[in-house]
Amino acid sequence: MKRSDLEQYLGQKVTVSFPFDTYTGYLHKTEEAVFQNDPNIYLKPKYYFLTETSEAGICSPLFRCSHVKKLQRSV
């Protein structure tokens, strides 16, 4: 998936499909200021992850846009 396609969903609740797993949550980028106190997340540029709520509670592994096979907006 292209980075520009993925980033249009930042902050929204989405379902992301990988080759062997599927996760649902709010899409975030690792370089967001909200996560600057967590160096394991903040210092990895160009990675993405999902959270349970709109601000915290990581519920997916870190991934790159190339890992995403399918993405759809969740309600």
CA distances from 38 to 9, 13, 31, 43, 61 (A): 22, 22, 10, 8, 15
* Predicted pLDDT at 25: 92
The predicted pLDDT at position 43 comes to 84
Q: Which residues of the chain have pLDDT under 50?
A: none
Look up tokens 């709010």; give the residue: 26
pLDDT score of 38: 85
Domains and CATH numbers, the chain: 3-73 (2.30.30)
Residue 64, pLDDT score = 95
Residue pair 13/74 in contact (Cβ under 8 Å)? The answer is yes
**Would you state the pLDDT for residue 26?**
93
Distances from the Cα of 25 to the Cα of 13, 59, angstroms: 5, 7
Whether the CA torsion 13, 2, 35, 32 is positive or negative: it is negative
